[in-house]
A and B are shown apart, each in its own frame.
Chain A
């Protein structure tokens, strides 16, 4: 019979390290999906997820069990992704390069006939990715959680460990930052 998360965690805390492996197997897909929102290269994604698991193992004793293990783990994941963004902040400016031809075409189509520029297009996905990479770490995290994953301010506060007012302030700044980058991109090329 499959053991529950609580049973596995209790076993790990008693010194049975092997009981940690089923937890890694069960929740890694979710962690990989989260990490891929913030890191592009697969080796970086793997490193982030590994870091999350190492932290989870070290801090397992602090898991009180009053919320699902997955929520606790996702909080660790979001904080680790934020640390990753901050560590790679310097690469932000360098990573920006000229828009690709499909991105240019998509923007031109949008400028002339907005309804014909589909959000399903690969070019739109590449463009938003490029713009997200230009944001500051806090702005990128907030935009990803708030606008892309559509989480509430309260949820974001719980995940990041920031207070609700701080999340609101950072969301306001993040949207302003996003608008500025969009305006710059659009103005430089098509206005």
Chain B
């Protein structure tokens, strides 16, 4: 078998068989709908990215403030925790009492 001739004939067959240019019905609408939905999704993607970017600085600030409140001189470390909790919980009641005495 002449392989070079076989190859030539097969290439010629492929050339003669030009693929169809037929476009499926409503293909343009399909692409445009996809583009529009992608645009809407992009808004959420931007929002999501912004949230993720904000997460790291927020965490860093939280850690810094925690460290500061813990290590700063005269910080809560030296206080009586039970007293501090009681003051906080009863702050509203104390305030009311103060207001009533004023009246």
* 8 Å CB interface, A29-55 against B: 29-30, 32-34, 36-37, 42, 46, 49-50, 53-54
**B38 proximity list for chain A (CB < 8 A):** 54
Q: Does A6 contact B (CB under 8 A)?
A: no
Of the candidate stretches A16-24, A88-96, A152-160, the one touching chain B is A16-24
- Would you list 9 pairs from A and B whose C-beta atoms are within 8 A, ordered by A residue? A24-B31, A25-B28, A114-B5, A119-B9, A119-B10, A127-B13, A128-B10, A129-B14, A148-B15
How many interface residues does B have (CB within 8 Å)? 32
B binding-site residues for A, Cβ under 8 Å: 1-3, 5-7, 9-24, 27-28, 30-32, 34-36, 38-39
**A21 proximity list for chain B (CB < 8 A):** 28, 31-32
Q: Does A131 contact B (CB under 8 A)?
A: yes
Q: Does A178 contact B (CB under 8 A)?
A: yes
Contact A29 B22 (CB under 8 A): yes
Contact B30 A50 (CB under 8 A): yes
* 8 Å CB interface, A136-153 against B: 147-148, 150
Q: Does A186 contact B (CB under 8 A)?
A: yes
Report the separation of the CA atoms of residues A128 and B1 in the bound assembly, to the nearest whole angstrom: 17
Contact A32 B23 (CB under 8 A): yes
Report the separation of the CA atoms of residues A28 and B24 in the bound assembly, to the nearest whole angstrom: 10
Contact B22 A148 (CB under 8 A): no
**A32 proximity list for chain B (CB < 8 A):** 19-23
Q: Summarize A's interface: helix, strand, loop or mixed.
A: helix
Report the separation of the CA atoms of residues A21 and B27 in the bound assembly, to the nearest whole angstrom: 10
Report the separation of the CA atoms of residues A17 and B28 in the bound assembly, to the nearest whole angstrom: 13
Q: What's the least CB distance linking A77 to chain B, in Å?
A: 13
How many interface residues does A have (CB within 8 Å)? 45
Contact B24 A186 (CB under 8 A): no
Q: Does A164 contact B (CB under 8 A)?
A: no
Contact A50 B1 (CB under 8 A): no
Q: Top 5 A-B pairs ranked by shortest CB distance?
A: A36-B19, A29-B21, A124-B13, A119-B12, A128-B10
**A24 proximity list for chain B (CB < 8 A):** 27-28, 31-32
Contact A150 B35 (CB under 8 A): no
**B24 proximity list for chain A (CB < 8 A):** 42, 46
Q: What's the least CB distance linking A142 to chain B, in Å?
A: 13
Q: What's the least CB distance linking B15 to chain A, in Å?
A: 6
Q: Does A110 contact B (CB under 8 A)?
A: yes
Of A29, A54, A132, which one neighbours B34 at CB under 8 angstroms? A54
Contact B9 A124 (CB under 8 A): yes
Q: What's the least CB distance linking A148 to chain B, in Å?
A: 5
